[in-house]
């Protein structure tokens, strides 16, 4: 698979994880997040797959997310690093909670699964 196809696929999977329909779906999260998944959140908290499955969102109106500047780098034949910038969108359409994101995805017989994710607060950026 070429880099552009891989970038497109992983971007799609990553953005699916931003959606409330996915975040609240235990079965889909278990497909996308590896059993050994680990996250270092924007807040500094650390999460495992079990933590994520126990903390399914209950917000009826979760924040909308804007993501941009995706890049992918192969770390091995079956491991890819995806990086991007993300921000929440307030009701008036302005971006806030700007964050640098990185995810490590692993390809196995069932497809791509995220094994690691990190969010780091960053200075505000403009939409591209």
Helices (H), 17-77: 20-23, 26-32, 49-54
pLDDT of residue 23: 86
pLDDT digits (tens, 9 = 90+) for 31-81: 999 999 999 999 999 999 999 888 877 666 778 999 999 999 999 999 999
pLDDT digits (tens, 9 = 90+) for 99-108: 999 999 999 9
CATH topology of domain 3-121: Nuclear Transport Factor 2; Chain: A, (3.10.450)
Percent of the chain predicted with pLDDT > 70: 98
pLDDT of residue 128: 87
Residue with tokens 């995805």: 105
48 token code pair: 């495992």
Q: How many other CB atoms sit within 10 Å of the CB of residue 53?
A: 14
Has this prediction a pTM greater than 0.95?
Answer: no
Closest Cα partner for 50 from 39, 59, 58?
A: 39
Strand ranges inside 8-110, DSSP E: 33-40, 46-48, 64-76, 79-89, 95-108
In the chain, what are the domain boundaries?
3-121
Closest Cα partner for 84 from 11, 22, 31?
A: 11
């Amino acid at each position: 698979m070429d880099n552009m196809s891989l970038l497109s696929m992983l971007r799609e999977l990553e953005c699916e994880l931003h959606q409330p329909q996915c975040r609240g779906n235990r079965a889909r999260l278990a497909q996308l997040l590896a059993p050994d998944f680990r996250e270092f959140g924007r807040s500094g908290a650390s999460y495992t797959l079990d933590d994520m499955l126990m903390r399914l969102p209950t917000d009826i109106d979760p924040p909308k997310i804007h993501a941009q500047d995706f890049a992918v780098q192969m770390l091995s034949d079956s491991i890819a690093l995806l990086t991007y910038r993300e921000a929440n969108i307030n009701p008036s359409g302005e971006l806030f909670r700007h964050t640098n994101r990185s995810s490590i995805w692993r390809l196995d017989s069932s497809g791509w699964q995220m094994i690691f994710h990190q969010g780091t607060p960053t200075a505000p950026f403009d939409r591209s």
